[in-house]
Amino acid sequence: MNNNASISDAKALAVETLHREGCSCVIAKDGAIKQYHNRGVKDLLYLLKNEPEALDGAFVADKVVGKGAAALMALGCVDSVYADVISSPALEMLGKAKVVVEYGECVPNIINRAGDGICPVENLCKDCIMPEECLPLIEQFVNEMSKK
């Protein structure tokens, strides 16, 4: 089997695992697949800050990718992403970072869990142009939410 086939197999397995195991995201890198279960961007932020090598060059399968998650993935130098749902601002940010993206549905914005407005992280990052601008906003948001 050639290397491209094994890469495609790992991506397919990561997406399958995302759906089968109910993960928030799944990361495939160097033949290993890791599952994550925290809500929102918590896992991506943790990895970026504490295990950046886990993201560098990786494939990420995620259910919902908004601009904040896209910024963290771009900062982590992920290679490619699959999202069930992605926002157009996230797609644009990942495109500028030259991250290969596949998705099920592209929406104007990610909606919050209550279904009555824009996701708070998406809203925080709406005016940011560069991924680096999103990071302090996301860190502050996650820190505040973990205190609640």
Which pLDDT value is given to residue 120?
95
Whether pLDDT at 6 is above 80: no
**Average pLDDT score over residue span 11-17:** 94
pTM, rounded to two decimals: 0.93
Q: What percent of the chain has pLDDT above 70?
A: 95
Per-residue pLDDT reduced to its tens digit, 47-75: 999 999 999 999 999 999 999 999 999 99
pLDDT band (50, 70, 90) for residue 18: very high
Whether 145 shows a pLDDT value over 60: the answer reads yes
Determine contact, residues 66/90, Cβ cutoff 8 Å: yes
Question: In sequence order, which residues have a C-beta less than 8 Å from that of residue 31 and are 6 or more positions away?
Answer: 6, 10
- Mean of pLDDT values over 123-146: 95
Mean pLDDT for the chain overall: 93
Phi, psi at residue 128, to the nearest 5°?
-75, 140
- Residue in the block written with tokens 């940010």: 93
| Contact predicate 57/78, CB 8 Å | yes
